[in-house]
Each structure stands twice: as structure tokens, then as C-alpha cells.
A and B are shown apart, each in its own frame.
Chain A
Amino acid sequence: MSSQASADNPYRGFEDLYRKKWTWDRVARGTHGTNCAGTCAFNVYVKDGVVWREEQQGQYEQLGDVPDFGPRGCQKGMRHHKYMYGKQRILYPLKRTGERGEGKWERISWEQATTEIADKFLDYATEYSPECISYGSGTQMSVKLASYASLLRFGNITGITVPEFFSGVGDLPTGSYMTLGQVYTGDTFASVYKSKCVMIWMSNPAATRIPDAHFFWEAKYNGTQVIAVSPEFTPTAMHSNLWLNPKPGTDSALAMSMVQVMLKEKLYKPDYIKEQTDLPFLVRTDTKEFLRREDLSLYGLLAVADNVYYMWDETTKSIVQAPGTGRADKPFGRDRRKYGTLELGDIKPSLEGRWIANTLDGEVEVTTVFELLKEECENYTPQMASEITGVSPKVIEQTARVFADAQPGMIYAGYASCKWLHGDLLQRAMLLMLALTGSTGKEGGGLQIANSPNARGMTQFGFSDVGPAFRLISGTTWDYDHADMKELNSKIYGNELAEKFDRYYKKSIEEDWFPDYSQNGWKMGIFAGNNGANWRASGSTWRKTAFEELETIVSLAPDMGVTSLFSDYVLPIAHHYERNDLMLQSRVPYLQVLTEAVSPLGEAVDDWEANRRLAEAISRRAKERGIKPIQDAVDGRTIRRDYTKTLDLYTMDGRVNDSKDVAQFIINASHGIPKISFEELSQKGIVKVEGVDNTMWDKDESPYHNEIVKSVQKKLPYETFTGRQQFYIDHEWFIEFGETLPTFKEPLEIEGYPMRMMMGHARHGIHSTWRDDSFLLSLQRGEPDIYVNPDDASKRGVSDGDMIRIYNSAGEFSAMAHVSSGIQPGMLFMYHGWDPKMFKDGKNFSEVIPTGGLIKPTSMAGDYGHLGYQPLAFAPNQTYKDFTCDFEKTA
């Protein structure tokens, strides 16, 4: 660069600086690798090694006769060029010099940091087991395919335990899994436009799905009935045709009441439910168990797990085997699809009736699941449900009729439905509504919670040359074991509940239904891609116990949060415009690239490189210390781990050098992604994925799960024990807890505390990212606030803007009262993600959330077809909602 100042062009004032047009060195493609499910394509403007602004790329290919996906983006993404240079950035490797959480640091070199971490890593792995080292990832990492693949590979090579966060943050749709044998039931966002009636339930897309919320309103203007269901008046409710506001936690009663109306008024689709569901299956009225082959013949007794089910055939007036059921050699759900069909042929199953079956026990009365469902629904007439939910009986009836009349109907459910202790029952009830109306598996219909890429390249990269050899466990059970959650249950909910839940928990482990990786304690915690000490239910208890147990804590993070604050070592990680990676989000049918628009700030590196440096240090120190290979037992297999080879394995003997290489590996090895070079993708920014010519995921060529659609369209059995959409579960625990069918159970409360506190995702942050941005704070109240009903506020002498203390027997925190008539009496509402460091005394909402140990017994059931631990499919959710509290004005 040469000076522009010269005799001919002298500098005489600052105005001269601005005469030259501002130009860009380049415009890079990128997005924000957070789990907002947006994957919005952005142009990133770079000059002199600095990102100055970003704009929406907006060049999305059309997807048939639906509104466009682009341009996409929101205020958070548009602000990132400032945030990435903000004061919260971690720019250098740090070592703690004071007490944990005190905030005293020493800047050290990467070499010093990784060497010291590697030495501790090797000490724990060799003295105890790699099991005692956890590597908890979060959504910031997992949504970026190359980053997550890097973690999988590192974990697989080293043998560490990875507590997964899908259940760990209470996002796992276990009710969906129980019913469909599948948690991935979502389609593209444009499917909303194809729905005739969409119920937005426990979700607030107007605030949390900003780039896609338009599909709801476009659908509304196109004639779709948009019905919002939420206790508080949300920005989404504001735009909907109808708003239902059940009391918090009573949603299952509302759903069951609509089911009752549909059954009573015969608004259901008999052909659909006879073929697709277990509603026509026969159940013994004496044992409440399905009639199975073992009831009818000695041969059945020999089956490993009997999965032959029966129907009453109206044509032959006899009990007949249900098509698609029965495969004694391999009875479990996973491979059932290959073997049968749901087609009924000449069978005409009865939905209603009672018959006598000649069993090995003698004559036994049998009836259908449908009949039992009708009996259950007698508890949920609109009048009865109204008393539970507060929703008018007439509104319940009308809504049920509108939904049943819609073809198809859709339930767009937020992850909040997974965060209640009995959220599984709600999802089962939702799926029941959808099944009765024949909506599941239809374009514009079904339960829309989640889908996930079948990105085989990611797992192939993780396992290549090594095989699957790491420990993947539910974050919920990991926390239960390592953070004294039984004790917390006892303190808050009483000994009886604590002992009962613990008994079932232990039974499940003893029976080997769920793995146990707690035998070697917890020595070292590595946290990447998340602010795990913030989002955990009972975060304050977790920090006190888990962080006390851990000997070494390492954070890999771009921004300082409470997790980093409590760490012994903090390693700086590149932000969104400083890395190369890929993103796939099922609601958006495009592959999105992240490119390194500028070099990582300070000494930050991307996740691949951070793990590579750790791997290098582990190899180097293992060689220098002469550490011999260990024999590591994982899930019954013995694996030889030679830590001197960690780096060679991690880089595939030097064939993989950076995250671009990882991304290319994933592109090449994954189906459904166009075969394109990473360089070309970096030029384009986005490319449409394969197998998408309508708004749903129904093609094998697509990169997403389509099992449910195939069951409906191609009559393939579901991956459930019954091979059907399974609404009746006769596992002994489900019978014992009265949950064989969807039903309503009161949410837990803490005696003496009347207010139910609800939380939801925020408009101005994605979890804790951007929550502390000054500009975004200026669009809110500038500090954490909590919504309060005017009557509740008035009773306590609280005015809008007052500081209030929210408390219960677990703890307390303070926040500004935001008095709003949009909040029901008896409830508080707070948008989540505020880091503890933003609150007085470093205490945030997690102080009063004591639910971290509430592990529902039935969510750990096993030895029952599809039930039993399935990573990222069937595991107990961490719950967040089942508690109450109170508040008062602070002095």
C-alpha cells in the first residue's frame, strides 16, 4: 500500500480520507454455525483482513409451488460482524490462576496448554480409563458437520465418553420414538404451506424461527388455519387465527380431549388407523398385555421376544395375525421393515368389540386398543379437560373439528414438549390426533419436531480406520451419576420420589438396558461447542457438584461464558466467519457452506485444528513418557489404544490436514449431497440437496430420514415393537405407571410455591450466543427480565421495571419484572440463554430449576422391542419445567 498523500493530493482534513470509495478485498460465503436451524446464506464482506458487514445472499433455488426460502437471515446474524470482535471473545489459550470461577487467568501458548492437558489426559486414561474423561459437545459444534466429525474421530480414537446433548438438553422427542420408532419426523419448513390446519404447539416461531416464520403467515393467507397453543400470548399467537392458552403443563389433557371429540363424533379415518396403527390390535383385558403368539401356542413361548400381534377379522369372524408383525428370529424393531407389509389384504380389522380368545391360560377376553382408548378418553370430555386446562369446552370441540376436517393437519411442536417430565405423553397424544385424522406421513401433515441428516460421511469419518470405539451416553444419565442428582431430588421432591426414581434407574442399568460409564468416576471434562454449565437444568447445583468432582476442566470456546469461567484451561475457538465447514438443517433443503472469510482472531483455531493440536500433544507426550498401549473395554469389546499413534490416526496418516479436507470427505461419502468440490461450494454458498421435489422428505435420495413417510406410502412396517404407529405400550413399567396409552399427568410442583416458571428460546440470541451483545441488548431491556402477570405483580407490590427476587427451596435469583397481560396468572415467563455472569451475584434462572435429576422411569425402559437405549433416539430427557417458585420485590 502506498500513501495517497502527495503534493498533488495533499491531506488537509479528515474529509480527504472519505473521498475514496470504500471497496472490498473480497466477498466470502458464510453463515452462522449455531443451532437456530436457520443456516441462512450470507455474503461476508472483507477488507484488510477484517469483516465489516454481512448481507443475505438470497439466491435460493425455488422448491415447486411454495414460497421461496430466501432471502434468509435475522438481526443476530446481521450483527455478527461486530460481535465477533466483541469483548467476550476468547483470543488466546488461558490457564486459570485463581480459584475456579474467580476469573483470574494467565495467557499461555498453545504448546504449553496442549502439553499440560495431554499429560493430565494420559494420566487419567492410563491410571483409570478413558471413560473418566468426558468430551461434551453442544449445538455450536454438532450443527457444523466437519467440526462434529472431528470430535467423533477424536473421541473414537481416544475412547473418551461423549455425553450427548440431544437428550441432555431435553430435546429428544422420546414420545415420538415410543410411537413411531423414530424421532426424525420433520419435513422442510415449506411443508407448513401445504397444511390445511397447523397447530403451533409449545413453540414460538415468530421469535425463534425468524427466517422461516413467513411460511406460517403465507399459509394463513392461503387459507390454512393457524392455531397457536401456548400459555403465554406469544408473538406467534398474535399472528395466528386462533390462540389456545392452556394452563402450563396441561397440554396432554387438551390433546386427549380433542382425541375424545374425534372419537365421539367419529371424525377419524378408519382405513388409515386400521392399517397404520396398533389401534385394531387385540389386548387381553385380564393382563392388559397384547395378545401374542406365546398366549396361543407353545411355539410362541420359545420366541426370544414375541412380536406377533393379532386383530379381529370381521370377514372371517376370527382372530388373525396382524400383517407385518411376527419375525421370531429377529424380533427387535430395527430391521423389521425389510420383512413385511402393512397391507391388510382381505383382512377387515375391527376397531370395536370384545371377544374370547382360547389361550394357553384358557379362555380370555380380548378387546382392541381402540376400545381401551375410548375408555381412557372418557376422562377427558371437553368439560373435564376444561377444568384442567382452563380452555373453554366449546373451543376444544371446535378446534378438534377444525383439525379433523383439515386434510392434512400438522402439529408444529417445539422442543419444549420434550422438556416436561411427561412430555412423552404429550407427544404420544399429539401423534394420536395426527393418526386419527390420517395426517402422519402426508405432505403438509404430521408431527414436525425434528429431522436430521443421514450424513453418513460424518460417521464414516469418525470411525474410519478405527471402527466405532467410543462411549456415547445420554447427557441426562451422565449428569445423574456425576452431579448428585438423587440428592437434589430428595431435597426438592422428597425421599419417596427420589428413592423410587433411583430404583428404576438402577434397575435399568442392572438389566443392561442402558450403559453405565460411571465406574471410573469423572476426572476430566472437556467442553466444546457449548456453554454446558449454563443450559443444564439445575445448572447451579451441577456446577457445585460436577465442577467439584472434576480434577481438570478444559473449555474450547469462541466466547467467554460461565463454562469457560469455571475451567482450568480455555482454548480459543474460531467464530463463524473464521472457519471452513458445512451445515445441513432439515427444514431448509440446501447444503450451506461456512468459509474462512478472515483468519481466526488472535490465536483462535477451528475445532478440527484444536483437536489436532490435542492429538499431537497426546502422541508426543505418550512417546516421551514411554506410555504403553492400554486394553480398553467398551460395551463388551476390548480395544487396544496406543496413544502414541493418536495424531496419525486422527489425520489418517497425514491425509487429512484441515477442516476443508474433512468437509470434502463428508461431501464425498454422504448420500443426498451433490458431489461438489469444497472450493466450488465456497463459491456458490448454497446448493440444493438431492431427492427433494416437494416440501417433504420422502425420497431415499434425500439426505434426511424418510422412514415414516415410507411406512405410510409404501406400507413398510414401522420400527416399533408392533410394527405400527404404536399407541399402546404393554411394557411392565408402562402398565405399572398407568401409561400404556397416552394420558395426562399433572406436572410436578414444589409445595408452598404457587408460581410455575416457563422459559423459551429468545428472539435476540441463540442460546447464550449473542445474548450479551450490546446492540441486541438495546433492542430489549438491556438486562435479564422476567414476565409477570399484572395481578400477580400487584399482589406483591411489584411494578413494571422493579427488580424482583425469584425463589424456591432450590435457590434464588434476581431479574427485572416485565409486567405483561400476555402472561397468565400463576405463571412467570423468561426467555432463556442469559448467562449467569449477566445476573446479580452470578446467579441466573438455573438457581431455581431443580429438575436435573428427574429421570422418568419409563424413559429408561428396555427389553421391549424398540425400547432400550438407542443413542440419539431413546434416552431420558433432561427436564426443565416440573417445578414451581414464587417472587417478591427486592428492596
Chain B
Amino acid sequence: MERSSIEGKRDSDSTALPRANAYSLFSQLLSSPHDIKSLSLIPEISFDGLPYDFEMKDILGEYLATDENQLRQKYSVLFEVGDEGPPAPIREDLFLAQPAKLREDLVRFYEFFGYELNEEFQWQMDHLSIELEFIHFLAVGELKADKDKLSFQLGQYDFTEKHLNNWVPQLSKKLSILDESDIYTKIVIELSRFLLDDFGWQKETISQVDVAGG
């Protein structure tokens, strides 16, 4: 199988970093506020150079203005606890009712590209924030790679197609039904839009993916 990028179509030097930052932002916003405490650097992250529109100012403002305890409560109620399990599980495996091989696929992605989780988070390798952080990791890899940027580009593309696209749109719909006005609903809706834009852009800048991408 041969898959290649079209020379000159993707400028990794200018796009990889803002894309990595965008994924990092979503990863942090969707981490459990019980686990990740400091988001003070969020406003300083730069998205200059993103090849599509990206506007998070209002959502970020609302997020940062929300009391930390309130954030924790909102997050837990939606994503972490419930008598029938969380109403909107924020783990892909749980959201999709534990399909066979899903978690193995994640671990194989992580292992192949050298993405390592702290022991504390290993059991939730399917957490949305971790999947997003993985794309961030690959985008940084793309930026730093001297010879084989294509591996990291294809890794992002395949992972998005096989995992993020496989459940984030459904999560977004579910949250809209549960509580349209919740800050986390707004973040996931925005994430869903962002993934659509980014995936489309990725597709345009990598050749032959439709033919051989599996």
C-alpha cells in the first residue's frame, strides 16, 4: 500500500503548531476538572496559522468565568457519574457500549507512535481528552519530524477517522439533548465542528487516503 502527501499542499511548519494547540485546548477543556487543576495558560495559546476558521473566545470566556466547583459538578454529572452510568460517557469505549477491540486499537496507535500515559490514566486510554491529546502529540511530531512527516499526518488522519469521528458527533448530539446550555455541551459542539473542518482539511492535504486509507 502506498500513501503519500502532495508536496507543497500541506505546510506543516505553519499549520502543525496551531493545530496542536487547538487539540491541546480541547483536551484540557474536556479533562476532568477534578484531575487537571490549572487551565490558566489557556488564553495565551495561539491559533494563528490555522487553515480554517476557529473561534473559541466566547466559550473560553464563559468557561473561565465559571466557578471551579461548578465546573467540577457539571462535568461529573454529565460525564462521570450516574445511577445508570454517566448520562454521556466521556470515554469512547463506554459511549459505544464496549465494542470488541476498540481499546486495543487505541493502545496500538499510542504504542506505535510512542505516546505514553501516566499510570493514573492508563485505564482510561479511551477518554476524549486523551484521544485529543494524542492528536496534539502527533501534530507536534509532524512539526518536529525531519524525514517522515507523512507518518504523523496519516496517523492523525486515521485516528480521527477511526476514533474521534466515530463518536464525538454522537456525543455532541447526546449532550445537546441532555443540556443544550451547559458549558461542556458548548465545548463538545464546537469540538465537533472543529473536527469536521480539520478532518476535511487533512483529507485535502494528504493524497490517496480515500483509496488506501482503509
Contact = CB atoms under 8 A, between A and B. Distances in A.
Interface stretch (A1-9, A354-362, A738-746): A1-9
A47 interface: yes
Interface stretch (B55-63, B114-122, B176-184): B114-122
A86 B81 contact: no
Given A1-B115, A17-B112, A92 B123 contact: no
Interface string A11-54: 11111111010100000000000000000000000011110100
B94 A86 contact: yes
Nearest to A52: B104
B73 interface: yes
Contacts of B143: none
B117 A48 contact: yes
B107 A48 contact: yes
A837 interface: yes
Contact of B114 (A4, A97, A774): A4
B81 A22 contact: no
Contact of A85 (B98, B114, B155): B98
B214 interface: yes
Interface string B62-88: 000000000011001100111111100
B97 interface: yes
B71 to A, nearest CB: 11
Contact of A87 (B94, B109, B151): B94
A6 B111 contact: no
Given A3-B114, A14-B158, A18-B108, A86 B80 contact: no
A796 B2 CA distance: 67
A92 B2 contact: no
Nearest to B80: A107
Contacts of B76: 92, 105-107
B1 A85 contact: no
A18 B101 CA distance: 12
Contacts of B104: 22, 52
A7 B85 CA distance: 44
Interface in B83-137: 83-86, 89, 93-94, 97-98, 103-105, 107-117, 119-120, 122-123, 125
B36 interface: no
A85 B123 contact: yes
B111 A774 contact: no
B83 A4 contact: no
A320 interface: no
A107 B103 contact: no
Contacts, number: 140
B112 A82 contact: no
Contacts of A85: 93-94, 98, 123
Contacts of B9: none
Contacts of B213: 13
* Chain B interface SS verdict (over half): helix
Contact of A13 (B3, B34, B122): B3
Contacts of B119: 49, 599
A107 B214 contact: no
Given A14-B158, A14-B162, A5 B113 contact: yes
A15 B214 CA distance: 9
Most chain B CB neighbours (cut-off 10 Å) among A1, A48, A106: A48
Contact of A774 (B82, B97, B117): B97
B37 interface: no
Contacts of A709: none
B155 A5 contact: yes
Contacts of A2: 114
Interface footprint category on B: 35 or more
Contacts of A82: 98
Nearest to B162: A14
Interface string A175-215: 00000000000000000000000000000000000000000
Contacts of A345: none
A599 B123 CA distance: 9
Nearest to A107: B76
Contact of A50 (B2, B34, B125): B125
B50 interface: no
Interface string A586-628: 0000000000001101000000000000000000000000000
B94 A4 contact: no
B78 to A, nearest CB: 11
A1 B113 CA distance: 9
Contacts of A506: none
A87 B214 contact: no
Contact of B107 (A4, A15, A47, A837): A47
A565 interface: yes
Given A4-B114, A18-B108, A49-B122, A10 B148 contact: yes
Contact of B111 (A20, A52, A87): A20
A88 B85 contact: yes
Interface string A764-785: 0000000000100000000000
Given A11-B154, A52-B104, A87-B94, A103 B111 contact: no
Contacts of B147: 6-7
B182 to A, nearest CB: 15
Nearest to B116: A1
A598 B158 CA distance: 30
A212 B211 CA distance: 54
A662 to B, nearest CB: 24
A91 B124 CA distance: 11
Nearest to A601: B123
A88 B2 CA distance: 44
5 contacts: A1-B110, A12-B3, A94-B81, A106-B76, A598-B123
Q: Which 7 A-B pairs have the closest CB atoms?
A: A87-B85, A49-B122, A3-B114, A103-B83, A11-B151, A107-B76, A17-B108
Interface of B: 1-3, 34, 72-73, 76-77, 80-86, 89, 93-94, 97-98, 103-105, 107-117, 119-120, 122-123, 125, 141, 147-148, 150-152, 154-155, 158, 162, 212-214
Given A85-B93, A105-B82, A564-B83, 18 more contacts: A1-B111, A1-B116, A4-B111, A11-B113, A13-B212, A14-B158, A16-B112, A17-B108, A17-B112, A20-B112, A49-B122, A50-B125, A52-B104, A86-B85, A90-B81, A560-B82, A565-B83, A837-B83
Interface of A: 1-7, 10-18, 20, 22, 47-50, 52, 82, 85-88, 90-92, 94, 97, 103-107, 560, 564-565, 598-599, 601, 774, 837
